[in-house]
Structure 1
Amino acid sequence: MRSEKHHVNNKRRWVSVLLVFLVLIGAAAGYTYYQYNQGINQSIKKINKTKQQTNKVVYTFEGKKDQYGDTNILLLGSDARGNEKSRADTIMIAHYNETRGTYKLTSIMRDIYINIPGHGKHKVNSAFAYGGPELMRQTIKENFDIDLQYYAIVDFQGFVQLIDEAFPKGVEINVEKKMSEYIGVTLEPGLQRLDGEHLLGYVRFRHDAIGDFGRVKRQQEALKAVGNQLKSIETIPKLPKLIGVITPFINTNMDTTDMLFMAKDFFSKNRGNVETLRIPIDNSFTDQRIKGEGAVLDINLEKNKEAFLQFISK
């Protein structure tokens, strides 16, 4: 009799624990959904206020994981609107390997002169204008033998909104020189905190002696700074809202759950510094001028392909 009563008490205890667990899961899901929608509504209000056009083109994208098990995400920066065809202003690939727990970032300089499937040789950023992210995927696969699973086209205003939401006091950046030409803001040299608009100007500036090479370097430095400084705040609870804030400004084939999973995995573990690579690598290219293209980077394709594959495979 006593044993039977003990068994009943244990059963009730486990039922209570299970109910509490389910309630907690439901509360977490509800919080995530609420914060995500808060972020979306916040961005939509700003879009409506500025009468900004955010129609999203529906793209096909036949991506898959690469031969090393990496999830590679094609990141394209653009300020084009609606159906306007434009070259990609920024081309990056984010590499995520769940098994090794590694996060890496490759910048592909937009003036690289390579073959674009079906179009001959052009600057690599022309692939986006000719055939959207899918043709860019094919171009990278053909030239560097790298498969891409996802794409994300980020409108520059989305970048501004994301930075302002995540960093109300700005992102700490050491600005190396005065910058103002063609970026819409003026940046003074020195260590300072930049809001979204000024940080966007910082990563877009390229009107100096080193041109696009300096711009790519600043882009990588800024993304590293954002990642490192996000780790120092209570990031994980803010992730749903941050993703909601950027959603109206991003065109991607990634599910919201995929973005949350990868972001949570990065910020919940001590990942250290994100490794970066620039294509072309040093001593692997020459400056050329091509009729109809202007200034281009004529690269040693095999040398860069080897460096690219070594970077993501280790």
Structure 2
Amino acid sequence: MNYELINGVTPQSPVWPRFKQWAKEANAPFIVLQSLPGLLGVEKEEDVHLRSVIDFLTKRRYTSGNYRFFNEAPVPDGSEIYMSSDGAINIIYEGETIGLEVVYANTRRAIKQIDYFNPDGTHDFTEEYAFDGNHYSNLLYYNNALQQIQFLNNDGQVVVRQYLFDGKINLITVEEPSTGRILNRYDNLISFLTATVSQMVTAHDTVRIHYMGVEMNALSESPAHNVLRLVESPFGDDGAVRGFLLMILKDEIKYIQEVELSKAAYHALAMQNIPLSKATIIDDSLSDPY
């Protein structure tokens, strides 16, 4: 099977339409590294097929056509949901605002998340909801700083926890949802993504990436045939071949087995005697040299 691996869905990017075109031509779903509570809505809006790393672990399933109205949010007992004249949706308890609701754009006010606050106004926690209205995650704060993210399955049980310190993820655990027993633990996001992506693909698959950042790192243990399709010049601003690209072409990075690039990029690299045994010319100009 073919896959396109991306960090996140970026409809505002000028190259996103090209990514979608390639995915359709290859009959390839997108594997998305970032969490995406609105996956169901994005699939419909962008006419794409998406597979989320987080959803793979939580085994989340979406129900098309379902949604949860803002006034159906599961708020604390005794509190009320009130929409003000400016459209803000407040959670009121004993006359005080304890939370605010956010809804999905271009919907009939389908709930997206609820932000709850401490009496001093600092952030307490956030509940995120999937596009179909199912509880997706909890974001926990202390002293107004994000401390932990809990990703839930369809039954509301925690499966993945991400712990943060000074704004950076420094521990991730994957749990057995019914008992809380830790199945796997990772010291950083990259090791978590690398391990999970390697479980999502097989040696019979082809996975294509477009950038040499987190997407490439996430493939370091992938058993699939991994392909980099260049969407930028092979040369940096200094005129030298981009470092990771050179390492791939020299086979110093072995887990990327193929590089797809334009004829102009291929010939420009050949002029510098760069090894090109892993290079394949494609009919696309995004990787043309500046």
Q: Per the shorter chain, which TM-score range?
A: under 0.3
Higher normalized contact order (CA 8 Å, seq sep 6+, divided by chain length):
1
**Larger relative helix fraction:** 1
Between Structure 1 and Structure 2, the one with more strand by share is 2
TM-score w.r.t. length of structure 2: 0.23
- TM-score under structure 1 normalisation? 0.22
